[in-house]
Chains A and B, each alone.
Chain A
Amino acid sequence: MKAVREQTIDAKGRPIIGGMKVKVAGENGQQEGTVVRVLDDYGVLTVVVPEGRGQAERMYRIVDVEVA
């Protein structure tokens, strides 16, 4: 299992850490979520996004998100 750094940068060089708001391209257009974890060595992060009336954790590639 790889080591994991807890922060990364988005495509524009802006730092991303846990708790930050990011934009994610979803099935229904772009949506906003909050970063929970960054698994930088895998190039992915976990984001809490709205789902139905609640919210859910989803993992995305770091290159597919940007700081909101």
Chain B
Amino acid sequence: MVTQTETLERRVWDVLETIEDPELPVAITDLGLIREVAVDGGRIHVTMVPTFSACPAIGVMREDIRKRLGAIPGVETVEVELSFAEPWTMARMTERGRERLFRHGVSVPARRGGGETGPTGVECPFCGSTNTRLENPFGPTLCRAIYYCLDCKNPIERFRPPGE
């Protein structure tokens, strides 16, 4: 039998799966930004792991979560807390998230490092070549760098995880 709590839990995840990072075309759940969710009656507490501690998009996402979850019938309060206890790594990103970024033209590092070949190790999302070079370590956002594909001659955005 499905309880009221379970129904609310499902609604919460239905909503979280539709909230995107404003700087990346991927849901916050696929980025692995949600670490813990507590549903206690009408009170919801969400714990997030930011990709970067200084990520300027985090405020937008927190507000988005508050508003969207707060609109679910039966929800009274929504708190969104940031957690820095365990740093975000590429391993937190789901396969679906990686595919979405790649389809959007953003190259994504290997899940746990390694497995990448070529001069830079960066795979072109347009032609699949790894014959690429770094153009600018500073892309349009903190978490993106600009590369250039020497084979298909396209500029590439590369998701840059913390520490890279």
A residues in contact (CB < 8 Å) with B: 1-2, 4, 25-28, 37, 39, 42-44, 46, 56-61, 64
Q: A42 CA to B83 CA in the complex, in Å?
A: 22
Interface contact B94-A59, CB-CB below 8 Å: no
Query: Which residues of chain A have C-beta atoms less than 8 A from B19's C-beta?
Result: none
**14 contacts across the A-B interface (CB closer than 8 A):** A1-B10, A2-B10, A27-B47, A37-B9, A39-B13, A42-B13, A42-B17, A43-B94, A46-B9, A57-B38, A57-B39, A59-B12, A59-B37, A64-B35
Kindly provide the distance from the CB of B46 to the nearest chain A CB, expressed in whole angstroms.
Answer: 10
For window 9-30 of B, CB contacts with A under 8 Å fall at: 9-14, 17, 29
* A60 close to B13 (CB less than 8 A): no
| Size bracket of the B interface | 20 to 34
Q: Is the interface of A mostly helix, strand, loop or mixed?
A: strand
Q: Let me know if A60 and B35 touch, CB within 8 A.
A: yes
In the complex, which residues of chain A have a beta carbon less than 8 angstroms from the beta carbon of B9?
37, 39, 46, 59
Known: A1-B11, A43-B94. 18 other contacts (CB 8 A): A1-B14, A2-B14, A26-B85, A27-B47, A27-B83, A37-B9, A39-B10, A43-B29, A44-B37, A57-B39, A58-B37, A59-B9, A59-B13, A59-B36, A59-B38, A59-B39, A61-B32, A61-B35
Residue of A whose beta carbon sits closest to that of B16:
A42
Given that A25-B86, A61-B32 are known contacts, is A4 also in contact with B39, CB under 8 Å in the complex? Answer: no
Whether B6 is near chain A, meaning CB under 8 Å from some CB there, is: yes
